[in-house]
Amino acid sequence: MNNLIEHADIDGELIPILDQVADPEIPVLTILDMGVIRYAKLVNDKVLIKITPTYSGCPAMDVISDDITMAFEKIGYEVKVELILSPAWTTDWISERGRDALQSYGIAAPLDENADKEALLGNKRIVKCTLCGSSNTKLVSQFGSTACKALFKCEDCLEPFDYFKCLK
């Protein structure tokens, strides 16, 4: 949880509540793991939350906003959720726990910026298969099931899998 505090301004007492809200498209991740919560403060029983979209057109943002509102209203807080665009979201904000959860869910976690470019141009085989761990994987498409992912295929175990693209 420590790396959460570095990039966002979140009241410690709100963390357990926010941590119950799952990402609607990748349910193994919480919205805290995704790093979309930028600000969360409790003032006189009123909660103010600021969230930022992963991608501009991310259809999950409205659902995330509703889910946060529900999580707090359920326990008697008044809550306001605001959408902010700056600073822009980056995959660096995905927590270590989140990266592990992605891997075990079958989505390869983002590489660093340069490695990501090599992988997505098909120059290097460095994205590891989430099933067998082999690096003998092939880019199928730079765009996958959602805007944030690319589609890969393992040439050893033949597993098709998503890769979470680096966004910096």
55/36 Cα distance (integer angstroms): 11
Q: Does 56 bind another protein (CB under 8 A)?
A: yes
79/21 Cα distance (integer angstroms): 14
Size of the site for another protein (CB under 8 A): 27
118/16 Cα distance (integer angstroms): 38
Provide the mask over 15-54, with x wherever binding to another protein is found by CB under 8 A and - wherever it is not. --------------------------------------x-
Q: Does 144 bind another protein (CB under 8 A)?
A: yes
Q: Does 5 bind another protein (CB under 8 A)?
A: no
Q: Does 65 bind another protein (CB under 8 A)?
A: no
Q: Which is nearer to another protein, 72 or 89 (CB)?
A: 89
- Using CA atoms, how far residue 142 sits from 72, 133, 145, 148, 163, in Å, is 38, 20, 10, 10, 9
Helix (H, G, I), strand (E, B) or coil at 80: strand
Which residues lie below 8 Å from residue 166, measured CB to CB, with a gap of 6+?
91, 110, 111, 112, 113, 115, 116
Provide the mask over 97-136, with x wherever binding to another protein is found by CB under 8 A and - wherever it is not. -----------------------xx---------------
Residue carrying structure tokens 């730079």: 142
Minimum separation from the CB atom of position 133 to another protein (A) = 24
Using CB under 8 A, list all residues that contact another protein. Answer: 53, 55-59, 84-90, 120-121, 140-147, 151, 165, 167-168
